[in-house]
């Protein structure tokens, strides 16, 4: 338990912290601007996804929007359930959909599992965001979130823009795309801890006295369950 304080001492401490918060927010705004200023790279691959509306290209996933966010949801074709940590993130997305759409943005989850598994799992957890299967294309591999057994065995793969080893075939990420007419460009991807800002529960936990309270766990998200399993 931290020290206690009277009203005056508490207010002074809070004002001191406020200055740090303001500095961080200014730095966050500057970082967001740099992110938006990254160059675009043209996507030439003709990815076709299995969707609830039939086969669709990457361009078609935009609908009539000009910006697309893809959440790389860990769901291996052989798994019976989606990743519990990705499910933890996905719980933040339903309410965001109409707000994103009002700003010309569509959010879609993409996984390698077959579509029937994805939709059944989505129904189970009460989500409504579009979820499509990349089982028949190389999208997951090209964007560095799926790995072959040979890659894992070699100990030389690339995840989060660094060479190294991975231990499983699926990892999470977020990628962003923009279209100009019928041309699609990749503008941004982030992985690992770069996903933290897109989990609203973690952001709320960060303001309570005990925080995420994960330090003594076998691994940070050991406490996480799918929301219908608590």
Q: How confident is the model at residue 1 (pLDDT cuts 50, 70, 90)?
A: confident
In angstroms, what CA-CA distances link 201 with 28, 49, 88, 93, 148? 19, 30, 8, 11, 32
pLDDT at 3 over 90: no
Q: Could you give the angle at the alpha carbon of 227 between the alpha carbons of 225 and 230, nearest 5°?
A: 60
Tell me the fold of 43-205.
Answer: Glutaredoxin (3.40.30)
Indicate whether 185 pLDDT > 80: yes
Given a cut of 80, whether residue 149 has pLDDT beyond it is yes
* 53-57: average pLDDT: 98
Name the average pLDDT for the chain.
97
Query: If 0-12 CB within 10 Å is exposed, 13-18 middle and 19+ buried, where does residue 219 land?
Result: exposed
> Dihedrals φ, ψ of 187, to 5°?
-110, -25
């Amino acid at each position: 338990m931290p020290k206690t304080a009277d009203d005056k001492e508490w207010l002074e401490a809070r004002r001191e912290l406020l200055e740090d918060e303001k500095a961080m927010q200014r730095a966050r705004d500057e970082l967001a601007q740099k992110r938006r200023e990254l160059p675009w790279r043209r996507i030439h691959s003709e990815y076709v996804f299995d969707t609830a509306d039939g086969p669709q290209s990457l361009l078609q996933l935009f609908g009539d929007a000009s910006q697309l966010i893809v959440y790389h949801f860990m769901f291996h074709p052989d798994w019976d359930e989606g990743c519990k940590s990705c499910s933890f993130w996905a719980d933040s997305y339903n309410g965001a959909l109409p707000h994103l759409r009002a700003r010309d943005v569509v959010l879609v989850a993409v996984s390698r599992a077959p579509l029937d598994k994805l939709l059944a799992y989505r129904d189970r957890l009460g989500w409504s965001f579009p979820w499509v299967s990349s089982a028949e294309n190389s999208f997951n591999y090209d964007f560095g979130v799926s790995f072959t057994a040979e890659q894992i065995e070699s100990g030389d793969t690339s995840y989060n823009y660094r060479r190294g080893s991975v231990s499983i075939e699926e990892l999470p990420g977020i990628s962003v795309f923009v279209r100009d007419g019928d041309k699609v460009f990749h503008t941004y991807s982030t992985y690992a801890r770069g996903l933290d800002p897109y989990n609203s529960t973690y952001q709320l936990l960060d303001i309570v006295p005990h925080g995420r309270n994960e330090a003594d766990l076998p691994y940070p998200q050991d406490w996480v369950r799918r929301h219908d399993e608590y």
